[in-house]
A and B are shown apart, each in its own frame.
Chain A
Amino acid sequence: MRGSLLLSALPRDGSGRAFLGLVAACAILVPVLNLLVPASSPVHLSTYVLTLIGKYLCYAILAVAVDLVWGFCGILSLGHAAFFALGGYAMGMYLMRQIGPRGVYGNPILPDFMVFLNWKELPWFWYGFNHFPFTALMIVLVPGLLAFVFGYLAFRSRVTGVYLSIITQALSYALMLAFFRNDMGFGGNNGFTDFKELLGFDLQSDRTRVVLLVITALALGVSYLACRFIESSRAGRVIRAIRDAESRTRFLGYRVESYKLWVFVFSAMVCGVAGALYVPQVGIINPSEFAPINSIEVVIWVAVGGRGSLHGAALGAILVNYAKTFFTGALPEVWLYALGAMFVLVTLFLPRGLMGLLPERRPAAAEAS
């Protein structure tokens, strides 16, 4: 049953398959090039590049999630970075608890920043985060719950279009301000860092990093397939109808709010997973992850890759971030110009992103394969 579900989601189009192949190749090649190829060889992948690829893959998951709500349901959320950051914070709390007595102050229970603030005991919302299963639950539950409450209120009262974009942005901004406060109990503007180990594995070792990367690649593949599955199901067709003509869909008898809400919540949960995978790889989480510009950058990845094409969104995320790494290293002055120009040019000339440059998929060929 489960197998046939996944099979039905498997892409029938060439580019979708190529994308999955690429992710799989990445999950196999990168570990080999990093661990098995000697450091002297020219094809050896340094740990630095390995971490970068891991980061890009997390961003790709985020982009897929945003594309699901924006590309297919027409909800332009400018607050998805908040869900990403919440997932990241949940993972960060687990990692902080794992430090245990190895912190600077050596307190077995309290993380360093709490000792520094002279706190005597753990706040209630930190309970349970020393157990990984609980943390894993929270990683999807916290963003999902926030998305549910927010989406329930917003979609029920039919806040749409730019209004929705602006209040999602305000939500993310409010969360950023809140997390910057020291007495919130999330480390203030320093956030969490100095992680030691995850499930007993040393986070500094190459082997752990490789495993994390493989897990991230797997997560990307699974979330791609899951979004594919939703998008190609019956519900997916309703969702696309909502994007194209919301009122008409409502008049046809569909509960537009419920469809939107569940897509929104699912997408937020995927973002939480992406954030949770991101934190152990980059080794830090702080409130700047909530910054409204982050959410908007995600949207531009999707727009560059191709709105309404899940693998396009993922590739867009990887390409734009590669460009960002390249420019901020080589020509830091130019990066914002390039990013800004990308926003303008893509919206003006490439409404379907880079995927729009590919030749139209021929339905007949797709059926045959």
Chain B
Amino acid sequence: MAWLAAASPAAAQSADAPFVAALGELPDAGFADKEALVARLVETGHSSAGAVLTAMLEDRLYVRNSDRRVFISTSADDTQPSLSLLDPLTLKNAGTAPMAELTKIGTNNRLRRVLRTTAARFALANPDASVRLAAVTDMLRSLDDATAELLRQRLPQEPDGAVKRQIETGLAMMAIGDSNPTVRLAAVQALSSRISAESRNRLAALLERGADGTYAEPDEVVRKAAAAAVNSIDTTRAVYSGVETVFFGLSLGSVLVLAAIGLAITFGVMGVINMAHGELMMLGAYSTYVVQTLMPNHLDWSIPVAIPVAFVVAGLAGVILERTIIRFLYGRPLETLLATFGVSLVLQQLVRSVFSANNRAVSTPSWMSGTWQVNEALAITYNRIYIVGFTLVVFSLLLLVLRRTRLGLRIRAVSQNRAMARAMGIRSGRVDAMTFGLGAGIAGMAGVALSQLTNVGPNLGQAYIIDSFMVVVFGGVGNLWGTLIGGMSLGMVNKLLEPYAGAVLGKIAVLVALILFIQRRPRGLFPQTGRAAESA
């Protein structure tokens, strides 16, 4: 056994030798010599050859001036003062070196073409199917005879269905340039079931007319098939982009609903204008940040922990706010507005003093990051899906609390007829505090969600306060369903307008439309009816 252990490094050493030799010649080789060296590197069959060639292709291969040794840089950005390096043999960390100490190993167009094919070959042989898929997708963007040949060789041995389909797409895209019209027709038909932008553009190119009026595609049958295929692809893509817009609208609407729903309680049920509502959301977002700094090794669990923490922190702040300030101002909404605005300034300055005025970095847990690639035309980020789901959960919970619990019953009783509720033995002051705390706590939970979407900073709350009031007023004060529908439709309208008017102009249009809407229906979409409405 002892000799085996001793011999294997030696064997590795001997396999390394030609690789090291070829690497060593790289710094001083001309472009033509480099091409030969690339072939030699591939021939060694060394496990690091793929990485070295990819690095060379991406301009990340450097020579250290002092000892003429070759290194891979982890970043292609050559404007940085220093680069962190990897050893080309072991691909392990080899420290950093200042930019001035390094010289890049240059490439020219011809060499890059060779490198691209070689790197693609390595990627196609990768055991990980997702790497292969990415490599094929990348190759489709710049197909030529050499890459097409690679794909053709790979196709029979490819085990993964998705990769196989993508390779077939690539081959069909190549076959469109074939001289035989039957082959072209088959390729067009194969592509008509694909929806990626590349295959659509490839098909559309067939229908273009040159300067002399002749079509790029001489055969009429093929041309007709191509036109039909482009049409059907366009329709499918339009449907998917519609789905995407609707989903974006839903997710923006969810954010609005989440921000406004706490306000729907404090403003809608209690009639209190709480200008510090945005800052309560900010407290929730900062709670997330604090939870994450306290448990840096369990980031995946930070959000489930942060949600109740934020609820308690913001809820407590709400109760304190209600007991110390707001309860003296019931029935004087304009004064409440001013006082809570003062509170919002104090809270902003408080987080500035405690956490600094800069934005804090809140990280996204792994299960929330990434995208769900439904197909080539539709990708949805996971965090948007979670936000929509979270909003619906919070909304239903709140509805349950208001409809099915004792607290909910009391809240409704006090908001409908305070004097009568008091006469029935309900301590209205306590219910007020609990109601306000509930609304504030929900704002805190909204803050957790916002921490995943925007920057966590002292101005987080201000950005949402006007929108949230708009949602509540639009939906109809005192009506939770109105808030849900109002928020969702505002989000949707915003996203539908965006492609035509741009983000800012779309927002302005929505604001102006809302101002006009309130003037038509001063009590919102779903106005309160009955006796409670009169006193509001």
A interface residues, Cβ below 8 angstroms from B: 76, 150, 153-154, 156-159, 161-163, 165-167, 169-171, 173-174, 177-178, 180-181, 292-293, 296, 299-300, 303, 333, 336-337, 339-344, 346-348, 351
Contacts and interface: CB of A to CB of B under 8 A. Distances in A.
Q: Which of A166, A303, A333, A337 has the most CB of B within 10 A?
A: A166
Contacts of A161: 333-334
A192 B353 CA distance: 33
Contacts of B337: 76, 162, 165
B339 A347 contact: yes
B191 interface: no
> Which residue of B338, B344, B504, B520 has the most chain A CB atoms within 10 A of its CB atom?
B338
Q: Which 4 A-B pairs have CB atoms at the shortest separation, nearest pair first?
A: A343-B342, A340-B346, A340-B345, A336-B349
A303 B519 contact: no
30 contacts: A76-B334, A76-B337, A153-B516, A156-B519, A157-B520, A158-B522, A159-B518, A162-B333, A162-B337, A165-B334, A165-B337, A166-B469, A167-B515, A167-B518, A173-B511, A174-B515, A178-B505, A178-B508, A181-B504, A300-B342, A303-B338, A333-B349, A339-B342, A340-B344, A343-B339, A344-B342, A347-B335, A347-B338, A348-B328, A348-B339
Chain A: interface secondary structure? helix
A300 B518 contact: no
Contacts of B519: 153-154, 156-157, 159
Contacts, number: 115
Contacts of B273: 162, 165
B435 to A, nearest CB: 18
Contacts of A157: 519-520, 522
B154 interface: no
A163 B518 contact: yes
A170 B349 contact: no
Interface in B473-531: 473, 504-505, 507-508, 511-512, 514-516, 518-520, 522
Contacts of A153: 515-516, 519
B342 A342 contact: yes
A5 B522 CA distance: 40
A337 B352 CA distance: 11
Contacts of A351: 335
A70 to B, nearest CB: 8
Contacts of A174: 507-508, 511-512, 515
Interface of B: 273, 325, 328-329, 333-339, 341-346, 348-349, 352-353, 462, 466, 469-470, 473, 504-505, 507-508, 511-512, 514-516, 518-520, 522
A163 B507 contact: no
Contact of A336 (B345, B512, B514, B518): B345
B257 to A, nearest CB: 18
Nearest to A173: B466
Contacts of B325: 344, 348
Contacts of A154: 519
Contacts of A159: 518-519, 522
Nearest to A349: B328
A296 B341 contact: yes
A343 B338 contact: yes
Nearest to A333: B353
Contacts of A180: 504
A296 B336 CA distance: 13
B293 to A, nearest CB: 23
Contacts of A333: 349, 352-353
A346 to B, nearest CB: 8
Given A166-B469, A167-B515, A336 B346 contact: yes
Given A170-B511, A170-B515, A340 B334 contact: no
A292 B459 CA distance: 13
B349 A347 contact: no
Contacts of B462: 293
A153 B515 CA distance: 9
A343 B518 contact: no
B150 to A, nearest CB: 47
Nearest to B469: A166
Contacts of A76: 334, 337
Contacts of A150: 515
Most buried by B among A76, A159, A161, A347: A347
Given A167-B515, A178-B508, 4 more contacts: A296-B338, A340-B346, A344-B346, A347-B339
A76 B337 CA distance: 10
Q: Which of B335, B462, B507 lies at the interface centre, i.e. has the most chain A CB atoms within 10 A of its CB?
A: B335
A346 B518 CA distance: 31
A365 to B, nearest CB: 31
Contacts of A337: 345-346, 349
Contacts of B343: 340, 343-344
A170 B507 CA distance: 11
Nearest to A176: B508
B346 A169 contact: no
A159 B339 CA distance: 22
A340 B273 CA distance: 16
Contacts of B342: 300, 339-344, 347
A188 B518 CA distance: 29
A162 B508 CA distance: 21
B420 to A, nearest CB: 25
B338 to A, nearest CB: 5
Contacts of A346: 338
Contacts of B329: 347-348
Nearest to A70: B334
A339 B473 contact: no
Nearest to A168: B515
